[in-house]
Structure 1
Amino acid sequence: MSDSPPTPPQDVPSGIAERLTDQSQNVLRDIARYADELAEHREREARLAEQDERSEAIEAEADDLPDGVPGKATITVKEINDHRYYYWQWREGDQVKSKYKGPVESDE
């Protein structure tokens, strides 16, 4: 370990870095624990927000499902004679069921 103090990462604002140099090692360790917990909290919040967005998208898509297509269905693309088509697909027991949705637009 070097005798000189560490250099703060470039992403740390200079005001924060300067304030940290004035703190005792106990306070620095408390700050480090708090920073780790805060980072974990923000990551968890971001994951939950992403899950909510996905759930809303799935629910919105489920509202658009035609009759006979369950909410667990996914969209797949099948190519038939050089043409591409969307199909709803889902599993019922050992069988995979499909229902035609429409052609794939050429700009996709």
Structure 2
Amino acid sequence: MSNYPPKPPQNVPSGIAEKLTDQSPDVLRDIARYADELAEHREREAQLPEQDEQDEDVEVEADRPDDVFSKVTITVKEINNHRYYY
């Protein structure tokens, strides 16, 4: 371990880095846990729209009549909480 405090990563805003240097070790550990949980939450949120789109594709394929060609695609657009199928 070094006798000098670590340097913050370049992508951390200086205001946040300055605030962190004033905190106790216990508070810093709490902040680290919170930051990890927040990062995981945001990653899950980013994956939700992708999952919803995949689910919609499956629903549309299941609703397709038997006499419609398999290569026909349906696009679903949501505008003002209304779904439009093209």
Same-fold status (TM-score > 0.5): yes
Aligned identity (percent) is 71
* Larger proportion of strand: 1
* Larger proportion of helix: 2
RMSD value, Cα: 2.5
Post-superposition Cα deviations, 1:52-96, rounded to whole Å, max 9, x if no partner, equal 122224434x27845257xxxxxxxxxxxxxxxxx84xxxxxxxx
TM-score normalized by structure 1? 0.55
Is 1:10 aligned to 2:28, yes or no?
no
TM-score normalized by structure 2? 0.68
Which is higher, the Rg of structure 1 or of structure 2? 1
Is 1:33 aligned to 2:33, yes or no?
yes
Unaligned 5+ runs, structure 2: 73-86
Post-superposition Cα deviations, 1:14-47, rounded to whole Å, max 9, x if no partner, equal 1101100000000000000000111111111112
Tell me the amino acid that sits aligned with residue 3 of structure 1: N
Unaligned 5+ runs, structure 1: 70-86, 89-100, 103-108
